[in-house]
Amino acid sequence: MEALTATRPQPAAASGALLEVEDLHVHFETSHGVVRAVEGLSFEIGRGEVVAIVGESGSGKSVTALAIMRLLPRLTGRTRGRVTFDGKQLLDLDDESMRELRGRDISMIFQEPMTSLNPLLTIGLQITEPLTIHLGMSDAQARARACELLSLVGIPDPESRLDQYPHQFSGGMRQRVMIAIGLACNPKLIIADEPTTALDVTIQAQILELMKDLSRRLNIALIVITHNLGVVARYADRVIVMYAARMVEQGEAEAVFHRPRHPYSMGLLRSVPRLDRPRGSRLETIEGLVPNLANAPPGCRFAPRCPFRIEICAQEPSLFLTDTGALSRCHRHAEIAENKIAWAAADAGTLAVAAEHGAPLLSVKNLTKHFPVRGKLAKKGAVVRAVEDVSFSIYPGETLGLVGESGCGKTTVGRLILRLEQPTAGEIAFEGTNLLTATAGEMQTIRRKIQVIFQDPYSSLNPRMTVRQIIGEPLHVYKLAPTRKAADERVGQLLSQVGLRPELGERYPHQLSGGQRQRVGIARALAMEPSFIVCDEAVSALDVSIQGQIINLLEDLQRRLGLAYLFIAHDLAVVRHISMRVVVMYFGRVMEVADRDTIYREPLHPYTKVLLDAAPVPDPTVEKARAPRLIKGELPSHMAPPTGCVFNTRCPIASQECRETIPPLEEKRPGHYAACIKI
Amino acid sequence: MLRYTINRVLLAIPTLIGVAVLVFFLLRIVPGDIVEVKLRGDGGSVSQETIEMERKRLGLDRPLYVQFGEWMVGMATLDFGKSMWTERPVLEEIAIRLELSLQVAIMATLIAVFIAIPLGTMAALFRDSWIDYTMRLVTIGGLSIPSFWFGMLIMLSLLALFNWLPPITFTPIYIDPIANLKQLIWPALAVGYRYCAVVARMIRSSLLEVLNEDYIRTARAKGVYEKLVISRHALRNALLPAITVIGLEFTFLIGGLVVTEQVFNLNGIGQLFVQSISRNDFTLIQGMVMLIAAFYVFVNLAIDLLYAVFDPRIRYGT
C-alpha cells in the first residue's frame, strides 16, 4: 500500500470534479485557545454526485460546509487551504463575487426548519429573493417560478401558500420550502446540513426521497451532512467519515458500509441499533469520549478509544489507499482488510424478556387529556385531544416502549403518569394505589418511587449546582441519608453506579459532555431508590456511540435493581433494542400493543407498518434494493381532527367505514392488540 | 383584529375605574386638605368657622361616597370638575400644559428614535470596533447623566457661547413655529439624550442577537446583498423589542419631567402635578392621575397593535 500525501487524495477523479477541497483547515479563536475544528481535509465532488459526510457532534462536518460557503463568523473563524468550485478559488474570491455564487451555483439547506426561515417575511418573498437578485427576474416572473418550485417540492395549493408566513407551515413543510429556496436558481451543488434530523420518520422519508429524486433529475451534486447512518445509506454514492476534525475514511458507500477499513467506522456501524438485524443482547459501543479540539492529543485522534491501538498509533497516520479503493487514516488498515483484527462482540448477557406474571406495577386505564385551546380565533370550549383513551400496564422489572411521531401524545402520557399534568379522565394506579385519589402522604411515598430522565441533559440540570449537589439534593429533601457523611457516601456510590469517576462530583454541568450529563440525570433519578423510571427521549440528543453506552447502562441498572422503565422515544430501532413490549401511538391514541419481537416481525396495524417501512436502515444494499412505500400527507391538525379512525387520512387501506367508526383496541392475536377494523 | 382592538378598549374601562377608586381614597387617607393649605398655609390664623364654611363651599363636608359618586358621574360625561385652588375647570388647566408636555415628549421621541436606530445598528454591525466603543461610551453617558443636569449644561453653554437664552413663554407651534421650537428644542434634546441611549442599547443588543439567528445565515446562504440582509431580514426583527421600550419611555415623558421642566422654566404637566399635590388640590390631582393612567393604557394598546403590524405571528395567531 502506498501512502498518499494529504493534498492529492483521489488521483482518478481529479479532472471532472465540480468541487475540490484541498488541505482545508478551519480554526476558531476562543477564550480557551485555538480550536482546530477542521484539519487537512481534502475531497472532491463530481457533477451530479451524492456524497455524505458522516460524523458525531464536534467532528467538524458542519464547519466544513460553512467554510466552503464562507459563512463562518468573520471575527473568530480562520480558514486555510484551497476550495476550487467550477474553476474558481472560493477562498480567494472577493466578498461580492462570493455572494453572487451563493444561492446561485451553490445553495445550502440547514438543519432547523423551524428557525431557518425569517418569521416576519412571507414564504413568497423568501423564495423569490434569490431569483430577483441572481437572475434579475421581475416580480411576476419570480412569483411564477416560486409557484413552480413549491409544486416541485410537493406543497399543494402553491399560489395561496406564497402569501403565508413560516409559522403557518408545519416542520416538514418548512423543510420543503427550504429545499425550494435551495433549488430556486438551478444550482450545481447543494449542501444539506442534517436536512431531516428535526423531522419525524415518515416526513423524513418523504424529504429524503424528494431530494434524491431532484438531484438525479436535475443533475445536482449533493453533499449531505448527517450523523444518521441510515440516511447515508439511502442517499450516498460516496461516504466521508470524519472524526475529531479529520477525515478518517472515504470511499464508495457500499465499501464503507460493508468493508470499513478504519476502526472508528467499524465501531460506529456496530453501535447503531438496527431494525434489519436480530436484536443482540447488548448494544456495541465505542468507549470513551471525543477528544477536546482545543488541545487534541498528538498522533491518531481515535487512538485513545481504539481497541487496536499499538505503539505506532502515537504517530499521526496519513491517508492510505486500501484494498476496497477507499482511503483510510489508520496504520493497521491492511490488517483490518485481512480480517486480522475485528471488534470483539459485546458480552452476551441474558436477553431480557417480558415477565407478565403477578400484579402490574403501574396500570393506566382509559387515560385522557384534553388541553383547552387558547387564542383569539379559537371557538369557545375547543380542545386539543392530546391523549385519548390510552390503557396499558407495566410489570415490575419490565421496559415498555412508547413510540410515535411528534404530537402523538407520548410525552403527555409520561407527564400524566408523573402527575405533572392533571388527566381529564381515566385512572393511573401505581402498586394498587390510584394516583388521582391518593392522599398527600401516599403521594409523597409514591413520588419517590416514580422518577424521570429527560431528553435534554443540559437544560434539565441546574447550571449553578455541582454534580454532587444535584445528585445529593433528593437525599436531603426526602431525608434519605441520616448524616452529611452518609449522604456524601451515597452520592459517591451513585456516581460509580452510573460509571462516573467520583472527582466529577465537584464539576458543574457545563463542564461535562452530553453523555456524562445524561449519566448525572440517571444518578439523580436513582438517588430516590425508585422502582419505576419514565425515560422521555432519554438518548435522543446523544451521539450514536454515546447512545449505546447509556442504553447499556439503563439495561444493567434494570437487571441489578429490578427497575421498570417507560421508554418514550421516536427512534424505532432504539425502542426495539431496549423494550420488552411496545406501544405504538398516533394522534393521541394507541394503535398497536405487542411484545417487541412480534411487533417488529409481524406488525398488524397499517400505521406500524408504514412507520417501520419509513425508517432508513444503515445498509446501502438494502436501501437501494427497496422502494419504500411512502406514506402520503402530514399529521392531521389538532384543530380539525379526522372523524372515525384518526389514521384514516393517511392510511393506505382506509375505506368509508374507517371514516365513520372509531376502531377499538382489540386483542387480534394472543397478547397482540391493534386498533383497526381491517384486521 | 378589529374585535381584538374593541376588546382591549373595553378592558380599559375596568382598569380606569380601579385607578379612580385607588386615587380617590388614597388622597382622602392622607391627612390635611386644600382648605387648610389655602387659608392657613402662610401661617395666618383663620377661625375654624371660616374653614368649615370653605369646606362646605367646596363640597368636602359631604360623605365620601357622595363625593366619589359625583366625580364618577361627572367623568362619564367628560366633566372632571373644577380645580379647588384656581376654580377653573380641571380639563382646561390640564389642556394648557398638555400641549407643551406632549410636544416635548413627541420631539424627544423623534430625536431619540432617529438617532438611536442608526447608532444601535452601526454599533452592532461593527461590534467591538471603535464605532461600537464610542457608541457605548456615549450611551453610558446618556444613562448616567440626569436629564435636568444635562439641561442645565445646555442652558449654560447657550449662555456662554452665544450669550442667548431660550424664550420662557410658550408659543403654540401653530402660531409661531420658530419661536415655539426655539423654546422647546432644548428640553427635548436634554431628555432625548437619555431616551436615545436606552433605545440605542436595546437595538444594539437585539440586533446582535438577531444576527446570530439561523434565518440570517439562510439569507446570506441565498446570496442576498449584505445591505438587504441587515435592513430586510435583521433590522425588522430587531426593532420589535425596541417598540416596547419606546412606548414605555414615551408615557414616562408625559408626567415625569418634573425637574427638567423646572430647569427650562416650562409650564408643563410635571410642574402642575407637583403644584397640585403640594396644594392638596384633590380634583386636579385626580384628573391628572386619570389622564396619565388613560395615556398608559392607550399607548400600551398602540404598542400591541404595532406589534401585530410588524409580526405576522401575532396578526394571525399561532
Block means of pLDDT (10 residues each) for chain B, 318 residues, are: 81 91 89 76 74 83 88 88 86 89 92 94 92 94 91 92 87 87 90 93 94 93 93 92 89 82 87 88 90 89 86 72
B233 closest CB neighbour out of A112, A118, A377:
A118
Provide the pLDDT confidence category of residue A11 given band limits of 50, 70 and 90. Answer: very low
Query: In chain A, what percentage of residues exceed pLDDT 70?
Result: 94
The residue among A118, A174, A225 with the most chain B CBs within 10 A of its CB, best to mutate, is: A118
pLDDT over 70 (residue A378): no
Which pLDDT value is given to residue B173?
85
d(CA B194, CA B197): 5
Confidence of residue A13 (pLDDT cuts 50, 70, 90): very low
Kindly tell me the burial class for residue B143, based on how many C-beta atoms sit within 10 Å of its own C-beta (0-12, 13-18, 19 or more): exposed
Chain A residues with CB-CB distance to B316 below 8 A: 165, 167-168
Average pLDDT value for chain A: 86
pLDDT of residue B136: 93
Burial class (CB in 10 A: 0-12, 13-18, 19+), A58: buried
Across the range A351-367, mean pLDDT stands at 75
Report angle CA A386, A390, A395 to the nearest 5 degrees: 130
Give pLDDT, residue A345: 67
Contact A249, A318 (CB under 8 A): no
Q: Phi and psi for A236 in degrees, rounded to 5?
A: -85, 145
- Say whether B218 and A181 touch across the interface (CB within 8 A): yes
Alpha helices (runs of H) in B126-224, residue ranges in sequence order: 130-144, 147-162, 177-211, 214-221
Most confidently predicted of A127-131, A166-170, A437-441: A127-131
Contacts of A625 (CB under 8 A, 6+ apart): none
Q: Which residues of A touch B232 (CB under 8 A)?
A: 121
* Per-residue model confidence (pLDDT) at position B318: 41
The CATH code that applies to domain B96-310 is 1.10.3720.10
Whole-model pTM? 0.82
State the pLDDT at residue A380.
57
B/e letters for A556-570, b = 16+ CB within 10 Å, e = fewer, are ebbeeeebbbbbbbb
Collect all residues from B whose CB is shorter than 8 A from any CB in A: 3-4, 127-128, 213-215, 217-226, 228, 232-233, 236-237, 310-313, 316-318
Chain B positions in Cβ-Cβ contact with residue A102 (cut-off 8 Å): 220-223
So what's the pLDDT on residue B168?
Answer: 81
Chain B CB contacts of A375 under 8 Å are 317-318
Domain residue spans of chain B: 2-90, 96-310
Q: Backbone dihedral region of A397: left (phi > 0), alpha (psi from -120 to 50 degrees) or beta?
A: left
B140: Cβ contacts below 8 Å, ≥ 6 apart: B197
A526 Cβ neighbours under 8 A, 6+ residues apart: A451, A494, A497, A498, A557, A561
* Dist CA A493 CA A488 (whole Å): 9
Confidence of residue A145 (pLDDT cuts 50, 70, 90): very high
pLDDT at position A227 is 85
Mean pLDDT, to the nearest integer, of A490-507? 88
Q: How confident is the model at residue A212 (pLDDT cuts 50, 70, 90)?
A: confident
Put simply, the answer to whether A118 touches B218 (Cβ < 8 Å) is yes
Q: Are the C-beta atoms of residues A215 and A581 closer than 8 Å to each other?
A: no
**What distance in Å separates the CA atoms of residue B189 and residue B195, rounded to the nearest whole number?**
10
- d(C-alpha A217, C-alpha A186), whole Å: 12
A406 or A37, higher pLDDT: A37
Q: How far apart are CA A552 and CA A273, in angstroms?
A: 12
Residues in chain A with CB shorter than 8 Å from the CB of B215 are 115-119
Long-range interactions of B297-306: CB distance < 8 A, separation 24+: B297/B12, B297/B15, B297/B16, B298/B12, B299/B247, B299/B250, B299/B251, B300/B247, B301/B5, B301/B8, B301/B9, B301/B12, B302/B247, B303/B243, B303/B244, B303/B247, B304/B8, B305/B5, B306/B243
Task: Out of B4, B226, B310, name the one closest to residue A120 (CB).
Answer: B310
Look up cell 486480522; give the residue.
A340
Q: Count Cβ–Cβ pairs < 8 Å, chain A vs chain B.
A: 86
Q: Cα(A169)–Cα(A162) distance, rounded to whole angstroms?
A: 11
- Give the range with max mean pLDDT: A280-289, A333-342, B68-77: B68-77
Q: What is the ipTM of this complex?
A: 0.81
Indicate the pLDDT class of residue A180, thresholds 50, 70 and 90. very high
Q: Is the pLDDT of residue A260 over 50?
A: yes
CA distance A104 to chain B (A): 7
Cα distances (angstroms) measured from residue A679 to each of A630, A672, A676: 21, 12, 6
Count of Cβ atoms closer than 10 Å to residue A628 Cβ: 16
- Cα(B117)–Cα(A417) distance, integer angstroms: 51
Distance between CA atoms of residues A459 and A541, nearest Å: 12
First to last CA, chain B: 14
Q: What is the 3-state secondary structure (H, E, C) of A217-276?
A: HHCCEEEEEECCHHHHHHHCCEEEEEECCEEEEEEEHHHHHHCCCCHHHHHHHHHCCCCC
pLDDT score at A4: 43
Q: Which amino acid is located at A601 in the chain?
A: R
**A350-to-A347, A353, A545, A559, B206 alpha-carbon distances in Å:** 9, 9, 22, 9, 56
Residue in B with minimal Cα distance to A127: B222
Report pLDDT for A375.
Answer: 54
Residues of chain B with Cβ-Cβ distance to A134 below 8 Å are 223
Strand partners, A403: A569, A584
CA distance B204 to B286: 40
Give the count of beta carbons closer than 10 Å to the beta carbon of residue A445. 12
Average pLDDT on A381-387 reads 81
Question: Using an 8 Å Cβ cutoff, are A116 and B214 in contact?
Answer: yes
Determine the pLDDT at residue A357.
63
Dump pLDDT digits (tens) for A87-117.
999 999 999 999 999 999 999 998 888 889 9
Chain-chain contact of B213 with A115 (C-beta, under 8 angstroms): yes
pLDDT band of A223, cuts 50, 70, 90: very high
